[in-house]
Structure 1
Amino acid sequence: MRLKDIKMGYKILVLVLVGIIGMAALGISSYNGMSKASTDIEDMYSNKLKATRWMGSEMSLMRGVQMNVVKHILDPKDKAIEEALDERINKYNENWEKYKVIGMKSERAAAEIPNTEALWAKYMKEVQNVKSLVAEGKQAEAWTAYKKIENTTVKDLLKSLQGLRQVADDNAENLNNDIKDRNSHQITFSMILVLVAFVILGGLSVIIIRDITESLGKAVTACNRMRDGDFRMANQGVIDRGDELGQMLRALGQMRGELTKLMRNVSESSEQLAASSEELTASSNQAAQASTQVAQSASDVVNSVEDQQKAVVKSNESVERVQQAVSHVKSQSAKVADNSASAARRAADGSVAIGESVEQIRSVEKTVNGSAEVVDRLGERSKEIGEIVDTMAGIAEQTNLLALNAAIEAARAGEHGRGFTVVAEEVSKLAHESQESAEKIARLIKDIQRDTEDAVDSMRNGREAVVAGARSVEGLRSMFEEINGLVNGVSQQIQTVDEAVEAMAAESAAITTEVANISEYSNQVASEMQAVSAATEEQSASAQEIASASDSLAVLAQKQQEALAKFKF
């Protein structure tokens, strides 16, 4: 397995393990050395130094025994001296037993110990002999015997004790030298172990650090290029590492590729956004122009409705005059019927009355004709209003389509077009309301046209009735000479005229009602057209807002393209 394929954690773990192994080896070696040194020191103290100390103590006690023997010879009655002598002898024996346990471990000391014990036993025997002489009062002999002991046994015993002490000192010195040599070897071994561990750890560290820094250098170079705006994928090379650094370099390359794709997509989206903004601006301007046309058409419709209302007022006045004339004719017909019996006597008066009736009937005919013409014009105006309403409906439909296009373009713009989606929805809503108002006006116009047709039919019937009345009166004038003989016929004709007048009165009342309906419908048309005009003004304002927002969107797209121009991808 290559070093480049080993995970970073394992590489660091290798360094840690090498350090741990080196430290463990150093610690174990140091522990063994310290344990051995502790054992040697304990042995030096327990065996060597104690032996030296006890030999020194034995020699000191030996000197004390000598001194107390001399004192006892000089003052045999002093019991304290004798007790001190016995105490020192006992102490010597006690210390000798302790030393003997340690001294027997040394070959040199073990060889000398029997001789020393023999000399001590001899010395004790001679001391007892001296004490006996002193007890017998033979101080001079005791002193002579002691001097002899001093020159022979004491010298030999002290020499033997000195030899044992020298053996203890030599053993301690040898042990000290062994400890020094062992410590020196331990220090040398520890230094070599530390040096080997440092060499291995340093070599592995250099290899691993060089391997890491090489990949990190590539990553830093790639990051610096991206920092400078260069996201091109040139000279990337093949990444053949299997560790975390290889994963990082591959992820960095993938990130650079994804950022390159993202910036390309953003650049293309910015271009599309700029084009869509221009289209949206043009559509908004068209919508504003269409709204202006709708407002103008609505204003024309309102003016036409006002003219229609004026014509309706005139028609109403004409109908009232017709009603007055009909009432007058009816009154005259009643009088003629009542006075038919005296028609002969008042023929002259009847002729004049008939002439007046003819004039009145002609006046009624003219009035009816005028009302018919007014109603015809009202029908024509209603047709014009219908055409205007159709135009408004077409404009509203076109506005709705423009709003739909604006909503689509805003949706394509994504997050930046969310505000334009709301504006497009408001424009679509206004267009829908305008279309509904136009449809409502169209229904009202159809009702007006239907009522107008009914009024025209009624006027036509009234005109025919008036014409029939005029013809009847003309027939009465031609037959005036026969009026006396045809009174009964006149009565019948008068009855016919009365019925016609009744019918004409009924038609006049119907015309009055229809004219009132036309006036009411005209008021409704005017109100609806004012609502259409207000909605159109709001639509125009919304279109202007869309145009302004579209301009802002175009500026934003331009800035985005300028920002992307700083990068290479």
Structure 2
Amino acid sequence: MKVRNSVVFILAGLILEGVAVFYCLRGFYLSHFSVPLALAILGFGAGLFGLFLVFKDFKSFTQLESLVKLLEKGDIVGVDQAILRRKGEFSKSVENSILPVLDTFFRLIGDVQRSSEELSYLVDILERDTETNRKGLKETSNAMNEVSTAADEEADVAQKVANGIETLLSLAREISETASNLRKLSDNAEVLSHDVSNKMGSLLGDIRQVTISNEETAKKVIKLAEQMEQINRFVDTLAEIAEQTNLLALNAAIEAARAGESGRGFAVVAEEVRKLAMRSRSSALEIAALAGEMMESAKAVATEVTSGTELVNNNLRKGEDVVSSLNDFSRAFGEVSSGLDLVDERVKAQVQKLSEIAQEAGRLASLSQETAASVQEITASLTEQSNALEHIEGCVKKLVEVAGRLKSVANQYTKETWSKEDKERMARESLKVLMELAERPEFKSLDINRLAPIFDKAFKGHPYIKTPLLVGLNGKIIHADARLDKNVDWSFRPWFQGALRGEPFVGEPYVTLGTNRPAFTVSCPVKNERGEVIAVLAANVDDRG
């Protein structure tokens, strides 16, 4: 624009000089000399001013050329430092022309550097996640193979279970039918037991009557034996009387024989008495013998009757025991019948449940087969995913290379900002300030109300430290310069990751957001009393004022 202005002034001067010459040639200067003179003066002045502008623009062009040569070398930091250190030497036009370009270029480089850092961070996460996913996918694939084998086995087992349940169902039905038959037999046995018990009760009543009759008979036989014993005593008495009578008759016969003829009749009578006594004695002995036999028979009969009575009583007791057992059997059969009813009900319920289980087992077998098929499909899908993941890993490696190249391209414009010695010196002094703050109790406890004034005072007017910030473990700002956006996530930045590892960090030069000019970041961890990292202290370092 200024070159155009200088040309305009020179042209205007030449035109004015031409008009003055024209007036002189036409003879107007004789009558109007002041007009050509004024035009000549104006033309000369415009030409001089144009030449002045041309000279000034030429100087600006020379300055601009020197800066462009630096730009041709890619040394934008050198251009910026040249303008900064030679403040006032460059014309405003040059500064106004170059500074916007530098601002744009630095902004572009800064965006590229931050983007490359974020890309590297995200690619690193992606790489770790991809590796984790690959391992997980491999484990899942192995697990799915095992699941596939298990599913096939499960399908076989489910089918066997279904077959087994069908068998159990058939057996349960047979058990139910058998239980029903047993219940009927038990009912019949209970009725029969009642009948036998009743008949045994009647028989025992008859036996009791016989026992009573036998006891009476035994008593009578015993009494008869006692009477026969009395008869024997009477017969003995009669035998003694007969013996005495026989002796008296013998004595009377002897006396009659002595009496001779006069005693002959008495002798006949005595003889008859003797004979009668002998027959009486003989009859008494026979009666005694018969009575003895009768008494012995009576005793034997009494003994037999007594033994029979005892035997009957024993049988009666046994019969009562039998009746009691029959009653127990009857009750037992009743309980068995009730139990069989319960068994029948339970078995029927089991049959119902087994039927439902059989249906579920059938469905389970079908589902197991479907599961086995689905597992095979999933296994095939996992194979495809594994192949896709390998492709992704290849792409991630390429992204890592791209991010590295992008970062390298961006950093080549800022890496020569400071010499190695100057950078180490500034880093050492800046880290000392950060680490001293990190050891203060206000920072160890993250007491924001107490640490904020200490933080602001420590960095105020510092020659190197720019835009200090205290960042939490979530990557968000806890306290910082008010110009910084507290919603920005700083977790992807290398200085944050470096400090999280528990050691001080010194970064490479990069273009900062705060100044849009090169700086490098230093950071250190803030640890609590237990030595755990709880925050990160960081700051940009730049000595250019």
Please indicate the TM-score interval, normalised by the length of the shorter structure: 0.3 to 0.5
Higher helix share: 1
Q: Higher strand share goes to which structure?
A: 2
TM-score, normalization: structure 1? 0.39
More RCO (CA 8 Å, sep 6+): 1
